[in-house]
Amino acid sequence: MDIEQLKKKIRDVPDFPKKGVVFKDVTTLLKDADAFRTVMDHLHEQYRDAGLEAVVGIESRGFIFGAALADRLGIGFIPARKLGKLPADIVAEAYSLEYGTASLEIHRDAITPGMRVVIIDDLLATGGTLAATCRLVEKLGGIVAGIWILVELSFLHGADKLKQYPFYSLIKYEGE
């Protein structure tokens, strides 16, 4: 399955989560076993020789791709969660979204100094969520060895906030 075929598996949902936003729903891709396997094959190929020690997945769809990659690589998975969802000592980072503000948290003991991680999420819009996750990893002394995104809305220029990191997006939307 090629990139254009994968792109066709993603559903547009107008006016979600607020009026004027066209949400890229990847659940329609996830329910197709061949499409999901193709995505995971691309992801695994990208990072199998990267010397990673853990995968950081951003809540919530980053958990799906991130946990599957961690399993394939035989390394640990670290969830970056929304505010108030983690039970132990955390570090937190606030950030702006394209439609509001939020905070992310990681357990303080999840990342050790010098640990090489890849950060995984389903979609890059304005880059606030990913930039905040990078700051969290670095606050704990970790090394962002890569960022992988399934869908990039390149017309929003979110990747501009991530120029200092190795960045890869599988599917790009140039304008919407």
**35 in a structural domain:** no
**14 in a structural domain:** no
Q: Which of 48, 53, 93, 98 is catalytic?
A: 98
**42 in a structural domain:** no
Annotation marks residue 108 as catalytic: no
**122 in a structural domain:** yes
The CATH number assigned to the domain holding 57 equals 3.40.50.2020
pLDDT of residue 97: 67
**167 in a structural domain:** yes
User: What range defines the domain where residue 156 resides?
Assistant: 50-173
**9 in a structural domain:** no
Q: Taking the model in full, what pTM does it have? A: 0.95
- The number of domains in the chain is 1
Q: Which of 53, 61, 81, 105 is catalytic?
A: 61
**19 in a structural domain:** no
**16 in a structural domain:** no
Annotation marks residue 48 as catalytic: no
pLDDT of residue 175: 75
pLDDT along the chain (176 residues), means of 10: 96 92 95 98 97 97 98 98 96 81 95 98 93 97 98 95 97 86
Give the integer Cα–Cα distance in Å for 152 and 25.
13
